[in-house]
Structure 1
């Protein structure tokens, strides 16, 4: 089906949101298990033990969970502070958190300790950046000088009254959170679920249809696409393939081509590089990723690196391209922003 369809439903009692573009799954959100601190959640935490040489400190989080903050300077055991969950931990490890809070809405993001009003670079309509900047300045007038605002791309063309209301709500919420620093570890603001996140973040491009109901996911091919994501092998153009297999230590990616020529190897590797960010994002995979590309001439490495950089630049989660290993594989590090899809469905009996 041509166009953009957002499908909202549930699978095994688990909330799911999907965005299909021209019949292909481009974005997928699956609810994390109950009791899990999802990325975006804001908590009051207590400083625990500091371990020399780790460059950070462990925190006591709500529900008896443990967090890890990559910052120890100026903190003392027993101190309380506000933190935001910044990623999904590896099994058995502490929840990664950050002290830099962002309170995100549909049209704006309030940024405590990051002053100033900024407009997304994706806002390009003539005169719109200036309009939004002026509106943001007016909406933040009287707020604490350390509090900033980012106008999101979805704010482009939105009426002043709607934007002002959204920013005011975010500003009030931020002020309440910043004043709530005393007491035991507590969840102060939970991360939104998949349906609310889809409404908040999937504003561009405008959807042609928002499908809801018990059959929305199946009717629009989401279930079939999810089944394909559980399988390790991804089909690439020209008969090539890419296997994406997570292990406890890393995500292993193996690219194969149907032909044995160097030209075919480069073509398959380029196709894999373009598809890899999407596959990692939809599968909920992050951490260390090791890619064994199909054989191709060594002199073409620069070409492939350019394709990789462009592909990951367009994608969401922060990714560090570490480079080539002595054995000729490519290493990268990707922030964990979601629970692996297979684990999330397995947890709910899927």
Structure 2
């Protein structure tokens, strides 16, 4: 069975937007993150904010970042005594906007890797060692003792650590804690407690990825840049469609409502169910990552003998284990649907690509960057793309290191892409 472990990264820095592609051992794209100038990626950034409103019955509060971006703060029971209107508190951004909701945050400053979460600002006298609630009860005592022995001495006053489910198999707890602590101490901004502002900027897409996956090789051959950029475009376009074809002839149909994601495994006449389910056990988790599915995910499967269903579930859970978001397999619903729960995080891929005409215009600027230097370029764009590039996208256009002439085509009815003329 193919693994969905990330083996290499591709960082594309272009005017207006950075894209980070995650590739597996078979060179298939597993995930892609975006950081656009007109919509900066705030994931894992840490801020001091002033609480504006508290909705105790909904376990949330609202605040505004220093640059005016609205956020919604998820509150735990232990947060109730801390969160008061007007109080300045640290928060960590944990999820992108979705369905009209603002950026989501949780109270407290934290920095996460695949196996650990570093807590900053732990109160005097409070325990600075904890385990994820998802770690089985039979393993907790031994892991707690190890974590205290190996990592406890590394933590200065005011710092703590949570062992994540993905870190329970680590052979060394000291190094991951030390690495997170060093990153925080080297890059955190010295903001006093009664001031608002950004405390930690997450380090950018590449730094975030390496906290999760380690120091993976980076594809940096200029000769491959245009090919990989086009591959990203093609994979993204395909993942924005509802249907994903399997090589056996079956299909996955993916759709999102306001409440949940659904995936339908369609045999499409395939008679070799072993092959169909074997491919689906890999492609379902891949599509979940590539499309940035989050929240409840329900999977509808063709009828199958119980023994083969168990085999499929085991294969599916193994593939899900490579997802750094650590999805939960919840079992089967009474209606026979397989139920998964994925923590919210990056913006859904289709939502990113719906930022039009911005994304189409940025694709055009990437084409310009691939042209020979020191040569004027004519870029054909729609009226909407031209208006965006002269407005909100002007900084990206001005950042180009070559002369560009925008040529607006007269007929906008054919849904053309930006392209180079001549």
TM exceeds 0.5?
A: yes
**What is the aligned partner in structure 1 of residue 291 from structure 2?**
283
Residue in 2 that maps onto 1:187? 198
SS at match of 2:303: coil
TM-score (norm 2): 0.62
> Secondary structure at the residue paired with 1:328?
coil
Q: Out of 170, 186, 197, which is 2:184 matched to?
A: 170
How far residue 321 of structure 1 moved from its aligned partner, in angstroms, is: 2.5
Structure number with the bigger relative contact order (C-alpha 8 A, sep ≥ 6) is 1
Three-state SS of the structure 2 residue aligned to 1:86 is strand
Matches within 5 A, 1:12-51: 13-20=16-23, 21-32=25-36, 34-36=38-40, 38-51=42-55
> Could you tell me whether the CA contact under 8 Å between 1:323 and 1:330 is conserved in 2?
yes
What is aligned with 2:80? Answer: 73
Give matches, 1:67-216, under 5 Å: 67-71=72-76, 72-74=79-81, 75-103=83-111, 110-112=118-120, 113=122, 115=128, 143-144=156-157, 146-148=159-161, 167-168=181-182, 170-171=184-185, 173=187, 180-184=192-196, 186-198=197-209, 201-203=212-214, 206-207=216-217, 210-211=219-220, 213=222, 216=225
- TM normalised by structure 1 equals 0.74
Deviation by residue 1:151-178 (Cα, 9 ceiling, x = unmatched): x99x999xx9xx989854533545x55x
**Highest Rg: 1 or 2?**
2
Root-mean-square deviation (Å): 4.0
Cα deviations by residue, 1:134-159 (Å, 9 ceiling, x for unpaired): 9977865xx31544598x99x999xx
SS in 2 for 1:17: strand
Give the unaligned 5+ runs of structure 2.
1-5, 132-147, 361-422
Q: Distance in 2 between matches of 1:156 and 1:306?
A: 24
Offset from partner CA, 1:66-119 (integer Å, 9 cap, x none): 31222242022222210101112322224321224323689997432373699x
What is the DSSP-based 3-state SS (H/G/I as helix, E as strand, rest coil) of the residue aligned with 2:279?
Answer: helix
Contact 2:112 2:180 in 1 (8 A): no
CA contact (8 A) 1:265 1:295 kept: no
Structure 1, unpaired ranges of 5+: 119-132
Matched, 1:349 2:359: yes
Change (3 A) 1:24 1:44: same
> 2:12 and 2:284 mapped to 1: Cα distance?
26
Question: Which piece of structure 1 moves more, 98-107 or 297-306?
Answer: 98-107
